[in-house]
Amino acid sequence: MHDTILIIEDEAVLRSELARHYRRAGWDVVEAPSAERASELLQPDGVQPAVIICDLSLPDGEGLDLLERFRGQRPDAEWIILTGYGTVPDSVRALRLGAFDFVEKPCPTERLDLVVNGAARSARAHRRLRAQAEGLHERYAISAFVGESRQAEEVRGTIARLASVHLSSLLIGGETGVGKGLVARVLHYNGERRDGPLVEVNCAALPAELLESELYGHEAGAFTGAKQRHRGLFEQAHGGTLFLDEISELDGRLQAKLLRAVEDGRIRRVGGEKEIDVDVQVFAASNRDLRQRVKEGEFREDLLQRLSVFVVEVPPLRERPDDIEPLVTQFIAEFNARSGKHVQVVSPDAWDRMRRYDWPGNVRELRNVVERSVLLADGAAFPETWLPSPERRSGSAQPEDGDVVRYVLDGRETLDELEARVLRAALEQTGGNVAAAARLLGVTRQTLRYRLEKHAVAGS
């Protein structure tokens, strides 16, 4: 299917020449000799041009007035304004209204072709982004929070209400793996900023110095290695949503800076001299009790109050066992499609084992178990080999005889997860002392620091 170009030009000879030229170049060409005819063609059920070449002055109107009227209705179309006697104010207004370019007549064909081809590339990029966004809107519909329990219905109801109001900030609470990130995405793609960007960052995954640069950006030369200006996540999320996962791990100095950014809508890049206005709604999530963190002096109370204007609490899976069956059914279908498997039958014993297990890793753990089971299935039956035992929490660490940590290995946890558990156990035995934990594990302090940062395990 060829792209469409709309030529709005009252000079019949020029319009015919342009139409003939671009038809030869493979375009579907639509002509309009007046503003009235162009308005008819640009109605919602009219043509869908990728590029619009429009004369500045038409017998019954101005090209810039058409641009202003229809730019929002045709966001994927790029406008090229032609004029025989354009002025600087006209060109400024054209670009301010979103025109791709402002070209004076007569314009050599080669020059106009360059402009048209550039506009076409831009229009196709806009269409790809819009198609991706529409796919995300469908993927993250409110029904994406799967479950038949009363608690799941309450979460969906809360999301539906919040999606219809203006949000400046929001706090999402719940244990690890319950689906806090999913709630943030569903809220974004169903809210008023659905067409804006959604930018996500895990505050526990980056050291404070790097996180500051990632959030707020930096100027060239702000620190060693900063060779050029970097736009931070706040700027990248302008007009959309910034999702801060594991907000409880944010450094105290960055908490103060975040509070100002959320309250004032202004940031300053690292090494920068001027403040930058940003229009961002901030979603924050934590698997820890932030009020307890405030009491411990580890989290600012004013920041908590600012973020918790609206709060969504996502219940753990053990409190909503009725959701296990619809979740497993969805995960089986997903991994069947991905792997070409045909798992269809789940035995009553398998359902019983999944319902009786308390799922400390919540929906994430359930999803990992289902993925492993589907990938290793030999036929239509869902294998029970990889299901955790309801009688004991697999992977739970219990110190014995002081320096012994015992694990139940059933393939549910990855090597990285097991290593993180060992690190936490060592820190618990040494009261959080990194040097003592390093001696206990037989590694250098530097090696342990590296491992702690890799797995986002806090030590002192």
CATH at 347 = 1.10.8.60
Residue with tokens 């970097």: 230
Mean pLDDT, the chain, whole residue set = 87
pLDDT number for residue 460: 55
pLDDT number for residue 395: 45
Q: Are 147 and 295 contained in the same domain? A: yes
Domain boundary among 313, 338, 360: 313
Domain of 322 in residue numbering reads as 317-375
Tally of structural domains, the chain: 4
pLDDT number for residue 400: 46
pLDDT number for residue 219: 85
Residue with tokens 């900030």: 169
Do the beta carbons of residue 455 and residue 420 sit within 8 Å? yes
Domain boundary among 111, 136, 161: 136
Q: Are 111 and 188 contained in the same domain? A: no
pLDDT number for residue 254: 92
How far is it, in rounded angstroms, from Cα 342 to Cα 329?
12
Domain boundary among 108, 136, 164: 136
- Nearest by Cα to 371 from 343, 400, 402: 343
What are the tokens at 152? 């799941």
pLDDT number for residue 24: 92
Q: Are 47 and 148 contained in the same domain? A: no
pLDDT number for residue 371: 94
Flag whether 188 is in a domain.
Answer: yes
| Residues with pLDDT less than 70, the chain | 1, 86, 133-134, 391-414, 459-460
